[in-house]
A and B are shown apart, each in its own frame.
Chain A
Amino acid sequence: MLPRRNIGILAVVPRTRAIDLELVRDPLLDAVTAIASARDEAAVCVIVRRAARELTDADGVTFVLRKGNRCYYADEDAIGPLWKGRQFPIDTCISGWAMLNRQHVIVPDIYSDDRIPHDAYRATFVKSLAMVPVRREDPIAAIGAYWAAYHMATPVEIGVLQSLADAAALALFNVQLDADLKTALRQEREAREAAESASRLKDEFLALLSHELRTPLHVINNWLWQLKQGNAMPPMILSKALDVIERNTALQSRLVDDLLDVSRAAAGKLSIDAQLVDLGAVCRSVVELSQPAAREKSIVLTISGDGDPRIWGDPERLQQVMSNVISNAIKFSAKGGRVDVQVMREGSLASVVVKDNGPGVPPEFLPHMFDRFRQADASMTRRQGGLGLGLTIVRDIMALHGGTVRAESAGKDQGTSIHLEFAVAEESRASSDVHRPPAGSKQPVH
């Protein structure tokens, strides 16, 4: 039974604005066609609100999108401002009611219906409304029509609104499908490009590996042939032969060791045997061992520092880290350059900085310096020899020590500095408190 007061009002306000199905049929078909060809959400909104207002002869129309548990008043077309851009909880507004109940709602007098949040309406012209859900089986939006004077929406008006809503549902579904398809295509393309790039890097690396393994072998083979000729060889030449063979054998062993380290690290099988280590002593010993290589290029290699920070680590692996970083600095510095190693302790942080005044690193390459198979300039590698795995191994070993490594360079010809940071071992405290990164785990520096 209808409430009495509605009947009373119906009696005094004649329905002068009711629309005729015959008159709206063609414009409705046009609107549905236009909605079907809309390419995005905004275009659907625009056509729907315009058509809904014209065809129902309403004083205002809103297009409300469901955003989770909220109703978002996305768009409106009205004689006065409604709620465009605002959001309301789905269970407090009438558009939410239409969506949650999957059915249209007709409210001839909003102030006599307690589903309506009256406060939100007081500032508006609205007296009567009708609301239809978009996508009836699982609503994603709603279309509202509003009248300034009392109006009971007719079945024809509801039919028009629902037709527009159904067309909008299909259009929004298509828009979503189109967006999903584009996203899927883009993701597929990106994945393919990444795979191709990785495969290219791997091919280049394998070519380089083959070159770097064959070159010392060629030297060794040629010397062995020469030694086997049976000619009396002056002792100086013989001694040179042994030096060259030894050096080239060491070069190959080093390549093989590096390759094994990188492949172990990639498989998560690189491990460290941690003990208390004097970081300063490790650095001094590596600097000492690197002096001949530095002298050969007239490079000044220095070490300085305050205190001898002690850290938890694997002395052999730390030696490898320092050796890779320092030999890299020497390798990429020009003749007559300098390489400075600085060991520091700041609070609970132990750090080593290895700075050279070599060719520097382009800023775009800095983040890739520690990547596998990556080198800034392939032609540089040819000149310098090696596979460029040194810094990758450094990064992997640092991770096992719970430390960090990063490279800095101000740019071309500005030199490069490698910064290594470790947590200082706190020996004075009880052994259970000692900071000790478990072998094989990554830990941030404390």
Chain B
Amino acid sequence: MKPAKVLVAEDYDDARDIMAMVLQSAGYQVLEARDGVEALEVARSFLPTIIVMDMFMPNMDGLTATRALRDEPQLRRIPVIAQTAQTSVISGSRELFDAVLAKPCSPDLLIRTIADLLAR
């Protein structure tokens, strides 16, 4: 079976680097995007299995990018995990996401959440 492709959308380089490494260690193939615009482009080109989305990002934030994903027939069914240092920004839009994780978030929790969502 081919490994699941996880798209990590995160503007902070230090955070994106280590999350990619953690997810690779857990056996996933990792795609990376530095903002919401890149996340949409990568999602269209590579059709990730699941997306881990930061909220505060330049150019296009995670909330806007996720709304855009939900409007595209090919992408709307991809599970999106919001991972943010400020969960209050999504308080009114929780239904957009398949899971919400607050930063700091342990890799164990992230990996378990991804596994649960992929098993559904």
Contact = CB atoms under 8 A, between A and B. Distances in A.
A222 B107 contact: yes
Given A207-B86, A210-B85, A226-B21, A247 B14 contact: yes
A211 B56 contact: yes
A237 to B, nearest CB: 8
Nearest to A212: B85
A217 B86 contact: no
A229 B25 contact: yes
Nearest to A240: B17
Contacts of B18: 219, 222-223, 226, 244
A446 interface: no
B57 A222 contact: no
**For the side of the interface on A, what is the size category?**
20 to 34
A382 B84 CA distance: 13
Interface in A108-159: none
A207 B57 contact: no
Contacts of B103: 214-215, 217-218
Contacts of A226: 18, 21-22, 25, 107
A219 B13 CA distance: 10
A368 B27 CA distance: 50
Interface residues of B, number: 23
Contacts of A215: 12, 15, 85, 103
A211 B86 contact: yes
Contact of B14 (A211, A225, A244): A244
A222 B24 CA distance: 13
Contacts of B12: 215, 219, 385
A212 B15 CA distance: 13
Nearest to A223: B18
Interface string B89-101: 0000000000000
Interface string A221-242: 1110110010100000100000
B51 to A, nearest CB: 17
A232 B105 CA distance: 24
Interface in B13-49: 14-15, 17-19, 21-22, 25
Nearest to A383: B58
A248 interface: yes
Contacts of B85: 210-212, 214-215, 218
A221 B107 CA distance: 8
Nearest to B102: A214
Contacts of A223: 18
A432 interface: no
Contacts of B105: 218, 221
**Centre residue among A214, A215, A247, A385 by max chain B CB count within 10 A:** A215
B17 A244 contact: yes
A318 B57 CA distance: 34
Nearest to A222: B18
A431 interface: no
A220 B22 CA distance: 12
A382 B105 CA distance: 20
Interface string B101-112: 011111110000
A219 B14 contact: yes
Nearest to B86: A211
B104 A217 contact: yes
Contacts of A237: 21
Nearest to A244: B14
A379 interface: yes
Interface string A370-400: 0000000001001101000000000000000
Given A211-B85, A214-B104, A222 B19 contact: yes
A379 B58 contact: yes
Nearest to B18: A222
Contacts of A222: 15, 18-19, 22, 107
B19 A210 contact: no
Nearest to B108: A225
A237 B58 CA distance: 28
Interface of A: 207, 210-212, 214-223, 225-226, 229, 231, 237, 244, 247-248, 379, 382-383, 385
Interface of B: 11-12, 14-15, 17-19, 21-22, 25, 56-58, 85-86, 88, 102-108
Given A222-B18, A222-B22, A226-B18, 11 more contacts: A211-B85, A212-B85, A215-B12, A219-B15, A219-B18, A222-B107, A223-B18, A225-B108, A244-B17, A379-B58, A385-B12
14 contacts: A207-B86, A210-B86, A214-B85, A215-B85, A216-B14, A218-B103, A218-B105, A221-B104, A222-B18, A222-B107, A225-B107, A226-B22, A244-B14, A382-B57
List 9 tightest A-B contacts by C-beta distance, closest first.
A214-B85, A218-B103, A218-B104, A222-B18, A211-B85, A217-B104, A225-B107, A383-B58, A219-B14
